[in-house]
Amino acid sequence: MMRLLLAAMIVVSLAGCGDKVPSVAKLAPADVVLAFGDSLTYGTGAKAEDSYPIVLGQLIGRTVVRSGVPGEQTAGGLARLPEVLDEHKPRLVIVCLGGNDMLRKGTPANIEANLRKILTEIKSRGLDAMLIGVPTPTLIANPPEFYSRLAKEFAIPYEGDIITSVLYKSDLKSDPIHPNAAGYRKVAEAVAELMRNAGAL
């Protein structure tokens, strides 16, 4: 019996280790956070002040730049990124891209490759990154595995549940693929919690 109990404790301990959030540098009060992505970052379906980056800035007491381009695919984000980084000089970049690629039947391998290049560009500048996974555009879906795989590869914090969770609830979305103001607040709260767990706050 004691052996079984000990084995169970070891399994629980190991499981807990696997759930540890990778750490990022603590943000100074003047540090800038860049929210980089497509319409989910822009805030389509709600007013600008209700978009997740603006709400996130209020929650964490930092400047959060809302750099979302509706309809953008990962290739467009990759081309746009260097100029945005040069302009805003962020300490932390939150990447949320891939949904439009999937809507346009882009291959998972190509989406993953572009996201890898985006994360490589961010990390090559000595900046911290976080990743938000986007579910595949089907009735019941979670983000593709390449999101979590990239998060592990780059050892960065990853939020893979919140977009799916919000889009499952009719009272939190403005259309089938976009949250409403209440939904974006849920996204902002989840990202803020991830930032706290990663040591950014």
Task: Check residue 26 and give its pLDDT.
Answer: 98
- Rounded CA-CA distance 20/145 in Å is 18
**β partners of residue 66:** 35
Is residue 141 within 8 A of residue 164, CB to CB? The reply is yes
Read off the pTM: 0.89
Does pLDDT of 18 surpass 50? no
- Rounded CA-CA distance 168/105 in Å is 22
Q: Give the pLDDT band (50/70/90) at residue 9.
A: very low
Identify which of 138, 143, 73, 139 has the alpha carbon closest to the alpha carbon of residue 101. 73
Task: Check residue 141 and give its pLDDT.
Answer: 80
- Rounded CA-CA distance 167/165 in Å is 6
What SS3 class is residue 39? helix
Got the DSSP string for 116-162? HHHHHHHHHTT-EEEEE----SSSS----HHHHHHHHHHT--EE-SH
pLDDT digits (tens, 9 = 90+) for 106-144: 999 999 999 999 999 999 999 999 999 999 987 668 899
pLDDT digits (tens, 9 = 90+) for 166-186: 999 999 999 999 999 999 999
Task: Check residue 140 and give its pLDDT.
Answer: 60
Largest CA distance in the chain: 62
Does pLDDT of 154 surpass 90? yes
Q: Report percent pLDDT > 70 for the chain.
A: 90
Q: Report percent pLDDT > 90 for the chain.
A: 87
Does pLDDT of 8 surpass 90? no
Tell me what the mean pLDDT of segment 139-162 comes to: 93
Rounded to whole angstroms, what are the CA distances from 69 to 41, 87, 104? 8, 16, 16
Tell me what the mean pLDDT of segment 64-86 comes to: 98
Tell me what the mean pLDDT of segment 140-168 comes to: 95
Tell me what the mean pLDDT of segment 153-158 comes to: 98
More confident residue, 133 or 19: 133
Task: Check residue 103 and give its pLDDT.
Answer: 95
Q: Which residue has the tokens 């974006």?
A: 184
Q: Quote the mean pLDDT of the chain.
A: 91
- Rounded CA-CA distance 128/2 in Å is 44
Tell me what the mean pLDDT of segment 60-66 comes to: 98
Tell me what the mean pLDDT of segment 48-57 comes to: 98
Domains and CATH numbers, the chain: 29-198 (3.40.50.1110)
